[in-house]
Chains A and B, each alone.
Chain A
Amino acid sequence: MDEDSRSEDNRLIDAYLDGGNESAIEELIVKYRKEVYLTAYRVAGDMEEAKDITQKALISAVSELRNFKRKSAFKTWLYRITVNAALNHTRGNAYKTVELCETIQSGERGADVCLIEKERARRLKGLLAGLPPRQRLSVILRVYRGLSLAETAAVMECSEGAVKSHYHLAINKLKTAMPADMQGKDL
């Protein structure tokens, strides 16, 4: 994680906590709101739910900012809050599957290819949703958010070894579950 970004975050936090500077916290929210939404979306799998989770997570982060001990980066702390909010929100709710109800109405070339791609993405999304929560989280944080092993471990509150294990189990499950027609590698 960028050290400059981390010190900049701490400066904004200090400005808000010590000086009551509301524009500092606004800047911090603007900086991270999209990442929070994308993480929430990857966990929840639904846009409306992701919007609710994003709002809850950000409110919780701003309210609890005084309790942020700075042992980790603000970004890691915020991801942890987001992931917990998303898991609490989706607990008991089945991950919503996206129904593909589009039909090929266009006569343009490539429309069928586009539909195949969408179908592939939909199936892969379903497979990801079917993974146990910690395996799913390791994939979301590593692949979608590009976090390092250490950062992923900090967000998931476990060891780096455990993250490695969850991640590789997840990748193996996805690989095994992916139908043969989807496994067309083109590096």
Chain B
Amino acid sequence: MKSGHDEIKDMLHGYLHGTLTKDASALVKDHLSCCDECADEFYIAGELLKIEAPDPGVSYYNNLTKAVLDTASVSVANRFNLWKYLFRPVPIAAAVSLCLIIFILSFGIFHSGHIQYAMQNNITMDAAASDEAMYSLLEEEEYGDGLAADDSGDDLTAML
């Protein structure tokens, strides 16, 4: 069992409120008879406890419970809640959201069909594009050589 000065000091409030065991109470009582510091503390705490608090009455307590519940429920209900605000049941917003969802879904379906159609056509388009590219290369070779000769001045040197 605790028996030092500090330990007894910690037990003083238990002794004062009568919550200690019989043995612990006897220990504190013995200590108080020989320690002035603890005796002073115990005495002052005891005197403080003699100051009574006025009783507001049963009706006050009964009304208090009702008032607290009423006011607290109103304040909780009035408090801004983002989730509640976002998901509050608003018929117009719900209708608009539904239309938007239908529009997005239908656009998605239409667009996926269009892509499939385009992918099939791309094969022929690629073939046509490769023919065109071939023609342009041939043309460049014909006219390119001539231009290159003119620009480099080969023809002039040959004439000279």
Contact = CB atoms under 8 A, between A and B. Distances in A.
Given A51-B56, A146-B13, A33 B45 contact: no
Given A38-B53, A59-B75, A149-B10, A54 B64 contact: yes
Contacts of B10: 149
Interface residues of B, number: 36
B33 interface: yes
A171 B39 CA distance: 12
Given A33-B61, A121-B51, A63 B40 contact: no
A22 interface: yes
Nearest to A51: B56
A171 B68 contact: no
B82 interface: no
Contacts of B98: none
A124 B52 CA distance: 12
A90 B45 CA distance: 24
A26 B48 contact: no
A120 B51 CA distance: 9
A117 interface: yes
A29 interface: yes
A68 interface: no
Contact of B61 (A34, A139, A143, A185): A34
A129 B49 CA distance: 15
Nearest to B45: A143
A182 B32 CA distance: 19
A155 B99 CA distance: 55
B60 interface: yes
A47 interface: yes
B48 A144 contact: yes
B34 to A, nearest CB: 12
A59 B43 CA distance: 37
Contact of A62 (B17, B41, B48, B68): B68
Contacts of A185: 39-40, 43
Given A42-B53, A47-B54, A146-B17, A120 B68 contact: no
A165 to B, nearest CB: 13
A156 B155 CA distance: 103
B71 interface: yes
B53 A143 contact: no
Given A42-B53, A47-B56, A185-B39, A124 B65 contact: no
A130 to B, nearest CB: 14
A30 interface: yes
27 contacts: A26-B65, A26-B69, A29-B68, A33-B61, A37-B61, A38-B53, A41-B53, A47-B56, A50-B53, A50-B56, A51-B60, A58-B68, A58-B72, A62-B76, A120-B47, A121-B50, A124-B48, A142-B13, A142-B45, A143-B16, A143-B49, A146-B13, A146-B19, A174-B48, A178-B44, A185-B39, A187-B42
- Kindly list the 6 A-B residue pairs having the minimum CB-CB distance in the complex, ordered from nearest: A62-B72, A58-B68, A41-B53, A121-B51, A185-B43, A143-B45
Interface of A: 22, 25-26, 29-30, 33-34, 37-38, 41-42, 47, 50-51, 54-55, 58-59, 62-63, 117, 120-121, 124-125, 128, 139, 142-144, 146, 148-149, 171, 174-175, 178, 182-183, 185, 187
